[in-house]
Structure 1
Amino acid sequence: MLEKFKSGLFYTAIGKYSNVVVQLVVQLVLSQILTSTEFGIAATVNVFLVFFQLLADSGIGPAIIQNKDLKRSEINSIFAFSLYLSLTLAIFFVFLGYPISWIYNNVAFVSLSRILAICLFFYGLLVVPQALLLREKNFKTVNYTAVVSSMVSGTVSIIFAVMGFSYYSLILGNTAKAIILFSVYYYRTGTTFKFKLNWEPLKKIYAFSKNQFLFNFINYFSRNLDTLLIGAVFSQSALGYYDKAYQITLYPNNVLTSLVTSVVHPIMSDYESQLDKIKQVYLRVSNLLALIGLPLSIFLFFASQEIIYIFGQNWAPSIASLQILSLSVWIQMILSSTGGVFQSGNRTDLLLLSGVLSTILNVSGIITGILFGRIETVALFLVIAFALNLIQANYLLMIKMFNASILEFLKVLIKPAILAAMQLVVFLLLPTLPFHFFVVLIIKGMIFAVVWMIGIVITGEFKKIRTELLAR
């Protein structure tokens, strides 16, 4: 298992880190060209795209990874169903722009929905080929393709933005990415299409995919309601500022958490009956994520202004929201790893329950924040909701799934909390630096790195990590 994990992590690291660098560069360039309103319009329509993407997936992807008994002919039958479903949803999405334009009072959504219908079709088609590659643990192809598609997508977006295509540049870049991903995945897997549907393979994965789909469906609203409401209640400009702050807090997840979670389910699904092994992996992963995430949350809080200014000082209204949301970075990192653990233990029923509770808490927090009339209060109550979700998710994992004590989970947070406390003390004592914001950011980054290194040595985590690496 360790060799598979190391191989998976290696190629996933290349893919994730390269992707983050590409996306960050693209965002930096586009932030100088496009306004917050244009970003807000793109963010709004993308929320609807994400919803239709999860409808196109219907839990099929994770179900194919989990079910090792599916034959290639059966997977081809599932692909045929996926094609028909994607085509139907794409046609429906073409006309979705009319009600969206009415809700947000902007006719631009009519033409945007027509372009994104093409994007949706290809995203729906790639579900089965991508799942097949992950099932075969072909992380190399998946991640290399993701990097190339991101580079092409970013290039397309920048070219069209320079040419004056406004928010269309973001949509066209996303569409190019979907087409490239599907084309490569389809070619590499040799998936074939049959006109006649065979329902038997779908029945095989129904139980797993049903719970997975319901979780994704519910989780969608808990993760996207803030975007939907801010754009409708406040303005597209306010949404642009809020979304910029929120997207920055997702970078640690993209760089660190997704690196691990991308390989957890494909590999740990082989150990479905060995819950103790899955538990130990989860606790160690949580410990490692917290060792980085907790101190990083403190750093992001104190460096929010400098980080936002990198995108341009016209994005200054995003600073307060970033400061608040940064406190949830470590929580989101750990929460992101729980889904793959539930899946690995074949407990999508608990995953669904956790999703329901998460939605109730997140929606309550978002609506409460909206009622106060500021994007900063939305961010604050969302952070509170995330904290409560960390508790409920680990209650279901540790007590209901592993039949263990939640104290086992809390213990892995002790040393990370010490590291975070060290960062807090240092940054509180740090005086105001009279330099250019970029220089200040570099200085703060160096301070963070030095204090973090001292912390992992003092707590003994450095020696532990070194021993684990040498043992492998």
Structure 2
Amino acid sequence: MGLNKELKNGILISAIGKYSYYIVQFVVLAILSRILKPTEFGIVSIINVIIIFFQMLIDMGIGPAIIQNKTLKNNQINSIFSFTILLSIALSILFALLSGPIAIFYNSNQLIGVCLVMSIALLTSGLNMVPQSILLKQKKFLKMNIAQVTSSIVSGIVGIILATCQFSYYALVISAILKNLIMLAIIFKQTNLRVTKNIRLVDLKPIYAFSKNQFLFNLINYFSRNLDNILIGKFMTLKDLSYYDRAYTLSLYPNQILTNVITPVIQPVMSEYESQKDIIKRTYLGITKILAFIGMPLSVFLFFSSKEIIYILFGSQWTGSVLTLQILSLSIWIQMILSSTGSIFQSVNRTDLLLLSGVLSTILNIIGIVVGVFTGKIEYVALMLVFSFSINFIQCNYLLMVKIFKTKQKEFYIVLLHPLIISSMIIASILIVEYFLESYSLYLLLIIKGVISIIMFVLGMKITGNVNLLYKFFKREG
């Protein structure tokens, strides 16, 4: 099977499953947002930040390393799996023991009980790590997606029922645990993994160099991506944290819906071409072009439609998220393109440069977050993050184009020209709509803005000569 065909087939299968998964997640979130209060979401948001850190410690870069290494034998993989089980148990116990200090740090006794229950969610998440990597390594994207969608539907229904039964934020926690358990039950059978007592360091050695750099990147990237929630939770109110987290989560949905369909496929497929950098470069520029054509117009639409989206989906109690979402929407296209770069660094086996990019990104993001939190307004935190994302966009692509592909950055930025033209057309059309139809209902305004954006997008694709681009990319070859 050729590279293009393999990528397209993988992306198509991934898209069907991922979109089903995100639709389920989005519907569940919209329902729960009308049942639970912003402060209840704020409590879980605080714990989720810490849980992500412990999940990263469990992963240790092992997942991508398993995918990249083509020489691992079954006994080595079983040894690695058994190691991650012990690590998951140990770190889950540690997290539970830290429930008291975490509650003291955030000055909230409510966090003690939540932490104790979330330690179970951490354990079940850790058990899933190696089985998921095995399925991706074997390119069994369909089976992975079936497991994700099934677990999300069942856990989402349970979470909604618990929320209506006054379980408060525990509805979210129990739903997360159930989702991980169902996921594990489905995918474990597909992997033929075995738990072994013989955990040997020699079995971990083949993935050490790759996983070391990947882990350090993940560690640095964690603080880059989560320090905002940590500091907002500490120095601002739970309501502020909830408003910010909701806006940030919404700004990530386009990224998740599009790049999370593509990036899980890139490394398993492109790692076969590790020494053929010209092929990887062409693929990267092609993916960037697709993401820019979708991401830039989407950023424009969300910038002008933040109020309608927040009010329609979650209700007026989430008004505090509107301006923050509007600001963060400016960086959506940037984050979409950046999200694909990690798989490219991995595919050429340059996790050292991935680590360097992560260090630079983290420094800029931390400075931006601290400055934003110092102002005491979540909107300024969002604004500073948009600025740091923009600088990171430049440095990351410098490392890829100049240091890895040995070419000029100009080749990359030319790809962005036509998407920028189309986005400008959408901006002009929406400004006209808002001027003449400002007093219309939120529902009607959202529909009109959406229709106008689509018309301008199609017209722009035609004018720039790219009307067949998306069709050709996603066309499934026989």
Class of the TM-score when normalised by the shorter of the 2 chains: over 0.9
The one-letter code of the counterpart of 2:197 is F
The one-letter code of the counterpart of 1:69 is T
Secondary structure of the structure 2 residue equivalent to 1:328? helix
TM-score under structure 1 normalisation? 0.98
CA deviation string 1:163-214 (max 9, x = no partner) = 1111111111111111111222211112001112111120110000000000
Alignment-derived partner of residue 457 in structure 1: 462
What is the CA-CA distance between 1:7 and the residue it aligns to? 2.2
Alignment-derived partner of residue 151 in structure 2: 149
Residue 386 of structure 2 is aligned to residue 383 of structure 1? yes
Cα separation, 2, equivalents of 1:315 and 1:115: 27
Structure 2 counterpart of 1:442, from 428, 447, 468:
447
Provide the alpha-carbon RMSD of the alignment: 1.2
Alignment-derived partner of residue 323 in structure 1: 326
What is the CA-CA distance between 1:220 and the residue it aligns to? 0.3
Pairwise mapping of residues 271-420 of structure 1 onto structure 2 (< 5 A)? 271-310=273-312, 311-420=314-423
Contact 2:7–2:265 (8 Å) recurs in 1: yes
Distance 1:162 1:467, change over 3 A: closer
The one-letter code of the counterpart of 1:45 is I
Contact 1:95–1:110 (8 Å) recurs in 2: no
Secondary structure of the structure 2 residue equivalent to 1:462? coil
CA deviation string 1:114-138 (max 9, x = no partner) = 1111111111111111111111100
Cα separation, 2, equivalents of 1:231 and 1:468: 43
What is the CA-CA distance between 1:20 and the residue it aligns to? 1.2
Residue 59 of structure 2 is aligned to residue 50 of structure 1? no
CA deviation string 1:382-410 (max 9, x = no partner) = 00000001001001110111111111110
The one-letter code of the counterpart of 1:66 is Q
CA deviation string 1:409-430 (max 9, x = no partner) = 1010000100111111111222
The one-letter code of the counterpart of 1:48 is I
The one-letter code of the counterpart of 1:317 is G
Contact 2:8–2:473 (8 Å) recurs in 1: no
When structure 1 is superposed on structure 2, of 201-210 and 437-446 the one drifting more is 437-446
Cα separation, 2, equivalents of 1:209 and 1:415: 38
Alignment-derived partner of residue 4 in structure 1: 6
Alignment-derived partner of residue 192 in structure 1: 194
Distance 1:465 1:241, change over 3 A: closer
Cα separation, 1, equivalents of 2:207 and 2:157: 39
Cα separation, 2, equivalents of 1:293 and 1:409: 16
Residue 247 of structure 2 is aligned to residue 242 of structure 1? no
When structure 1 is superposed on structure 2, of 407-416 and 175-184 the one drifting more is 175-184
Alignment-derived partner of residue 203 in structure 2: 201
What is the CA-CA distance between 1:44 and the residue it aligns to? 0.7
Cα separation, 2, equivalents of 1:466 and 1:384: 33
Contact 1:77–1:201 (8 Å) recurs in 2: yes
What is the CA-CA distance between 1:152 and the residue it aligns to? 1.5
The one-letter code of the counterpart of 1:240 is S
What is the CA-CA distance between 1:371 and the residue it aligns to? 1.1
Secondary structure of the structure 1 residue equivalent to 2:468? helix
Alignment-derived partner of residue 63 in structure 1: 65
* Structure 1, unaligned runs of 5 or more: none
Distance 1:184 1:391, change over 3 A: same
Cα separation, 1, equivalents of 2:139 and 2:468: 31
The total of aligned residue pairs comes to 472
Distance 1:122 1:417, change over 3 A: same
Cα separation, 2, equivalents of 1:26 and 1:222: 28
CA deviation string 1:215-240 (max 9, x = no partner) = 00100000000001111100111000
Cα separation, 2, equivalents of 1:467 and 1:54: 37
The one-letter code of the counterpart of 1:371 is F
Pairwise mapping of residues 14-33 of structure 1 onto structure 2 (< 5 A)? 14-33=16-35
Cα separation, 2, equivalents of 1:262 and 1:132: 12
Cα separation, 2, equivalents of 1:104 and 1:468: 48
Cα separation, 1, equivalents of 2:471 and 2:96: 54
Alignment-derived partner of residue 119 in structure 2: 117
Cα separation, 2, equivalents of 1:119 and 1:368: 33
Alignment-derived partner of residue 422 in structure 1: 425
Secondary structure of the structure 1 residue equivalent to 2:240? helix
Secondary structure of the structure 1 residue equivalent to 2:328? helix
Cα separation, 2, equivalents of 1:381 and 1:143: 35
What is the CA-CA distance between 1:100 and the residue it aligns to? 1.1
Cα separation, 2, equivalents of 1:188 and 1:469: 28
Alignment-derived partner of residue 221 in structure 2: 219
Pairwise mapping of residues 124-139 of structure 1 onto structure 2 (< 5 A)? 124-139=126-141
Cα separation, 2, equivalents of 1:67 and 1:91: 31
Cα separation, 1, equivalents of 2:137 and 2:472: 30
